[in-house]
Structure 1
Amino acid sequence: MKKVAIDLRGLNYKYHNGVNIYTLFLLKCLYEIKNIYPFHLTAIGLNKKTQRKLNQSNSYFKKVIDSHLTTSKYLNLPNLNNFYTNFFLLSKYLTNKNLLNNNIQKFDKVILPQPKILNFHPKSEVLTVFHDIFGILGYNSTGIKQRILENKAIFGSLVTHSKQIWGNSMSTCNDLQEYLKAPPSKIKLVYPALWQNQKIAQNQKKTQSYYVAISGIEPRKNWYNLILAHHYCNQTFEGFDMDLVLIGRVVDSKYYKKLQKLIQKYSINNIEFVIDAKDSKKNQLLSNCAFTVYPSYWEGFGYPILESLAYDKPIITSKISSMPELAKDSAVYINPLNSKEIATAIYLLYSDREYYKKLVHNCPNNLRYFNQEEVQKKIKEFIFG
């Protein structure tokens, strides 16, 4: 029986971000494969609190994971917490620039749902999933510890030691070749997907007069220009009557305060923040909104675009990086640096009903490019190929 390990350290992050959504999706795919083609799956790096939470909230989790290893135990180290284990990994890497280690447990396959530094047995075959590389391009707004662990040298070593590299968009695949010199023979384009059995909480009420933006609250997501655009609509377009609902988690508290001050400065009274919304609340807001806005400066993928397609909601999004690749002809494209251009797009979807209906009609066809069967096929090929 194949011995497979999956690095789940990222799930210890307390917030439900796009990478964590992807990791849970990957585990569901592994569960479906395992029901037909048995293998032994070991989870690496998941703390006990997160284990308990996942066992309670996901019925498949106990069934798909056969055993757990702390990161330190996987590395044959004393029982260390994640901080000291990461410090060890980084120190060792800086000393010999090598991620291979004969003294750690050997697995046939090791899956990294995100590119985190780790050691591998020389006989283990590694799959690393890259969601983006904007951290090494200067777009990363995460903390200093995260930036140390996500740098060009470490990413480059993961590329070197991986049997396969998955990019979650063609944009990311191109970036991997351009900036990390990843061999094209290693790279596979594998789109994430929404789980096909996921129930979309459609409300039968008439679509309400508001639109939503969903993301972490940080500068890269560009809510500052979105708020300016909404204010411009309020002041400029006669008859414009829409609320803006901002759904997110606070990644950068200074930026969040900056947004609040901007709203206060212009006395904007039709913007609402919904912080740390549960999925049920987010689904309800998506179900009843008119459209969504995703004006990010850079995205490797962007789950909010898929969610918008799943709810048959047109999207206003940036005409850069992966966003046109995902939204296709279900979107109005804007320059994220130009708040007036964003405002014009908002008013277009508000005022032109025929154009709006055309974009709605295109949503289901565009969603079909992102399906779980294709992901499961690629995982099965990696494990058993």
Structure 2
Amino acid sequence: HDLVWLHAPETMRARTFIGERLLMKPALRAADVVVADSTATASALTSAFPWLKSRVRTVFPGTATLPAPGDGSSLGPLGITKPYALFVGTLEPRKNLANLIKAYGLLPAGTRAGCDLVIVGGKGWKQRGLVDLVRSSGLETNIRFTGFVDDSVLATLYANCLFLAMPSLYEGFGLPIVEAHSFGKPVLTSNTSSMPEVAGDNAVLVDPNDPAAIAAAFGRLSMDAEFRSQIAAGARNNAGRFTWENHARDMLRIFEQAIWQRRKTDA
């Protein structure tokens, strides 16, 4: 799915980093075929391990179909009563939430008044300071942490947001981008790893290490409805590239090729 242990090891839990560092190379050497879920991950693999050569394939994952969304008024119990930008993901360092919050704090007060930031996801690791950052920045009334939500609430959150804000430091794929696009929503995401590939033409790309750049994109997407519509124009078509039917068909072909090659080698 990714090479976080090579490209963003500081964002990982120690045991996960040690496990991947110790076990991935032997697994790659033993495999008949190595399947990556994005061209970016495949390229990173062959760059890091040139001896893999022709064994690497790319097969995009699909996304689960979320339930029909509810009306925006149903989000009131979560404290969501104004237009908002949405983040979806586990709260962990790779998701770059500290820079997203800093960027939000750089926005003019008038922009923040017209667009809250809603952060959806379960607690991960190394992120205990996020609430303190929000509090120290005076953003408690504008930034909301919902915690984990079920699929019906998630669908409603996607359907009623202005855009998805996902300026991750690194992603092997980035499923929330596709989920947001499936609801016809534009995306703010990073210009690194797989995110440009997955988002296609339906995102504003930023340097994830530059809060000012994130803020500029956030401000335009939150204030300019015509720009949002322009960016979102092909979002649903882009999401249509990523289906489990396509994934299954491509994986079946890879299994058949691997079996044929093994039999040919063993003959």
Q: Which residue of 2 aligns with 1:348?
A: 220
1:166-218, Cα deviation, whole Å (9 max, x unpaired): 111111001110112252321111001114xx244234559961111011111
Identify which of 190, 205, 208 aligns with 2:59.
Answer: 190
**Residue identity in the other structure for 1:201:** A
Q: Report the Cα distance in structure 2 between the residues aligned to 1:147 and 1:238, rounded to whole angstroms.
A: 40
More helix by share: 2
Residue 4 of structure 2 corresponds to residue 134 of structure 1: yes
**Residue identity in the other structure for 2:68:** A
1:247–1:239 CA distance, 2 compared to 1 (3 A): closer
Q: Which residue of 1 aligns with 2:37?
A: 168
1:113-134, Cα deviation, whole Å (9 max, x unpaired): xxxxxxxxxxxxxxxxxx1111
1:9-53, Cα deviation, whole Å (9 max, x unpaired): xxxxxxxxxxxxxxxxxxxxxxxxxxxxxxxxxxxxxxxxxxxxx
Shift of 1:234: 4.2
Q: Which residue of 2 aligns with 1:265?
A: 136
Q: Which residue of 2 aligns with 1:231?
A: 105
Matches within 5 A, 1:240-251: 240-251=113-124
Q: Report the Cα distance in structure 2 between the residues aligned to 1:317 and 1:201, rounded to whole angstroms.
A: 25
**Residue identity in the other structure for 2:90:** G
Identity of aligned residues (%): 29
RMSD over aligned Cα atoms: 2.1
Identify which of 20, 26, 31 aligns with 1:157.
Answer: 26
1:238–1:214 CA distance, 2 compared to 1 (3 A): closer
Q: Which residue of 2 aligns with 1:49?
A: none
**Residue identity in the other structure for 2:95:** K
Q: Which residue of 2 aligns with 1:5?
A: none
Q: Report the Cα distance in structure 2 between the residues aligned to 1:264 and 1:234, rounded to whole angstroms.
A: 17
Shift of 1:150: 0.5
1:352–1:379 CA distance, 2 compared to 1 (3 A): same
Matches within 5 A, 1:88-167: 131-139=1-9, 141-151=11-21, 153-167=22-36
Q: Report the Cα distance in structure 2 between the residues aligned to 1:368 and 1:310, rounded to whole angstroms.
A: 8
SS at match of 2:69: coil
Q: Which residue of 2 aligns with 1:326?
A: 198
Q: Report the Cα distance in structure 1 between the residues aligned to 2:8 and 2:72, rounded to whole angstroms.
A: 44
**Residue identity in the other structure for 1:167:** A
* Higher Rg: 1
Q: Which residue of 1 aligns with 2:207?
A: 335
Which TM-score applies when normalising by structure 2?
0.86
1:239–1:194 CA distance, 2 compared to 1 (3 A): closer
Q: Report the Cα distance in structure 2 between the residues aligned to 1:143 and 1:239, rounded to whole angstroms.
A: 33
Which TM-score applies when normalising by structure 1?
0.61
Q: Report the Cα distance in structure 2 between the residues aligned to 1:264 and 1:239, rounded to whole angstroms.
A: 15
Residue 170 of structure 2 corresponds to residue 303 of structure 1: no
Q: Which runs of 5+ in 1 are unaligned?
A: 1-130
Q: Which residue of 2 aligns with 1:212?
A: 86
Q: Relative contact order (alpha carbons < 8 A, sep ≥ 6): 1 or 2 greater?
A: 2
**Residue identity in the other structure for 1:296:** S
Q: Report the Cα distance in structure 2 between the residues aligned to 1:192 and 1:172, rounded to whole angstroms.
A: 13
8 Å contact 2:38–2:172 — kept in the other structure? Answer: yes
1:329–1:200 CA distance, 2 compared to 1 (3 A): farther
SS at match of 2:234: helix
**Residue identity in the other structure for 1:149:** G
Residue 68 of structure 2 corresponds to residue 201 of structure 1: yes
Shift of 1:239: 7.7
8 Å contact 1:136–1:150 — kept in the other structure? Answer: no
How many pairs align? Answer: 249
